[in-house]
Amino acid sequence: MQDTIVLYPAPGMGHVVPMVELGKLILHHCNHKFSIIILFTTDPNDTPDTNSYIHRIAQTHPSITFRRFPSVSVDTSPSRSPAAIKFNFIRLNTTNVLHSLQEISKTTTVRALVIDMFCASALPIARELKIPTYFFFTSGAAALIFFLYFPTIHQQTAKSFTVDLTTTHLHFPGLPPLRATDVPEPLLDRDDPAYDDVLYYCDHLPKADGIIVNTFDELEPNALKVIADGACVPDAPTLPVYYIGPVDRRRLQ
């Protein structure tokens, strides 16, 4: 059987393009030892540009193939925040992830699954199938510190950042103090279901076999040291973190 690495980005070009570039990077450095299969949701918000991009990549990089999921229905009630709707959409595709990995495994050996942080619901599935799983974190190490440490911040208060803590500064290891109102929007309101989704993602980051980060030593030496020292996840072993940046599609046409 041929060896394959499966990549699973979150919906949207901002997530798909970096994952495709990671696939190109793997092929380049491994001398095409692996094939790359990219799992792809059928998002009602997909544009013709998205489909055109996927077609172009499939034509120009034959070692990269796309496996599109069947569509799923999602509650788009106006009472739900856009982030909550998006996160629920990803979660509803979990069964599609399972079926795809099972089908792919019939004809190839899946050596690893690489997932977007927002696709953390795929991690338990990969564990069941005994597939090593890594997160691909497209932002830098400083942002990774925020998300790795956020469960600790969550335990320190039961209040919403946007209403009750407007003058409070949050303290993350290795980072300057951050105003509570400057956290990512899904985390502002503790009553928004999206808050629990992001907390779930943060909790699962250390549970993978490793994290691949789009940065490099010379750019963020202090942040990299903080992560390596285990300061971001005080109650868990320090997991392997791999720095592969900068991932730039101009280098990998």
**CATH number of the domain encompassing residue 74:** 3.40.50.2000
> What does the pLDDT read at residue 238?
82
Please tell me which residue, 8 or 237, carries the higher pLDDT value.
8
**Considering the domain boundaries, does residue 178 fall inside one?**
no
**DSSP state for residue 161 in the 8-state scheme:** T
pLDDT in tens, 169-209: 999 999 999 999 999 999 999 999 999 999 999 999 999 99
| Annotation marks residue 192 as catalytic | no
| Annotation marks residue 43 as catalytic | no
> What does the pLDDT read at residue 253?
54
**Considering the domain boundaries, does residue 194 fall inside one?**
no
**Considering the domain boundaries, does residue 196 fall inside one?**
no
Query: At how many degrees (to 10) do helices 193-204 and 82-92 cross?
Result: 50
Buried b (16+ CB within 10 A) or exposed e, 174-199: bbeeeebeebeebbbebebebbebbb
pLDDT in tens, 8-60: 999 999 999 999 999 999 998 887 789 999 999 988 777 788 889 999 999 99
Report residue 250's pLDDT band, with 50, 70 and 90 as the boundaries.
low
pLDDT in tens, 117-174: 999 999 999 999 999 999 999 999 999 999 999 999 999 988 888 876 777 899 999 9
Whether residue 36 contacts residue 23, with contact meaning beta carbons closer than 8 Å, is answered with: yes
Please give the average per-residue pLDDT across 224-245, as a whole number: 92
Question: What are the residues facing 8 on neighbouring strands?
Answer: 115
- DSSP E strand boundaries for 183-232: 210-213
Number of domains comprising the chain: 1
**Considering the domain boundaries, does residue 62 fall inside one?**
yes
pLDDT in tens, 66-84: 999 999 988 888 788 999 9
**Considering the domain boundaries, does residue 157 fall inside one?**
no
Q: Count of CB atoms within 10 A of residue 56's CB?
A: 10
Question: Residue 252: is its pLDDT beyond 60?
Answer: no
Can the peptide bond before residue 246 be classed as cis, meaning omega within 30 degrees of 0?
yes
Looking at 43, 116, 192, 197, which residue is catalytic? 116
**Considering the domain boundaries, does residue 151 fall inside one?**
no
**DSSP state for residue 185 in the 8-state scheme:** G
pLDDT in tens, 105-119: 999 999 999 999 999
| C-alpha 98, offset from chain centre | 17
Question: Residue 92: is its pLDDT beyond 90?
Answer: yes
Nearest-angstrom CA–CA distance, 203 and 200 = 5
Nearest-angstrom CA–CA distance, 90 and 155 = 26
Range of the domain at 105: 2-140+205-251
**Considering the domain boundaries, does residue 182 fall inside one?**
no
**Considering the domain boundaries, does residue 186 fall inside one?**
no
> What does the pLDDT read at residue 33?
85
Whether residue 27 contacts residue 36, with contact meaning beta carbons closer than 8 Å, is answered with: yes
Whole-Å CA distances, 252 to 56, 76, 118, 183, 229? 14, 38, 25, 33, 33
